[in-house]
Amino acid sequence: PAFEVQTDVVSGTLQLKGSQTGFSSFVLPENALTVLCEGVMAPGVYNLPVQAIVPAPYEIVSSSPIAIQLTVKRRVP
C-alpha cells in the first residue's frame, strides 16, 4: 500500500491448447497474466517475470511478455 507502480506494458498475449468444445464457453480470467511483486520492498526499477495462469484442462502454449520492467515509487498521500 505504500508504493505505486509505473510501467509501459499494459497488455499481453496468451496462446492456449485445449478442446474446441471447451473454448466455446471459455472466459479468460482477468489475472491470466500476472506479475508477483511481493519481493518488492523499496522504491526502484525492477525487471519481473510475467506468469501465465489458466485453469485446467487448458495448456499454455506461449505467452508474452515474459518479463516487464516496473518503476516503483513511494505513494504520495
* pLDDT tens-digit readout, 29-45: 888 999 998 889 999 99
How many H helices and E strands in the chain?
Answer: 1, 7
Task: Quote the pLDDT of residue 64.
Answer: 95
CA 37 from chain centre, in angstroms, equals 11
Q: Which three cell numbers stand for residue 37?
A: 511483486
pLDDT for the residue numbered 48:
94
CA 62 – CA 13 distance, rounded (Å): 8
pLDDT given at position 11: 85
In this prediction the pTM is 0.77
Residues of the chain with pLDDT under 50: none
Predicted pLDDT of residue 25 = 82
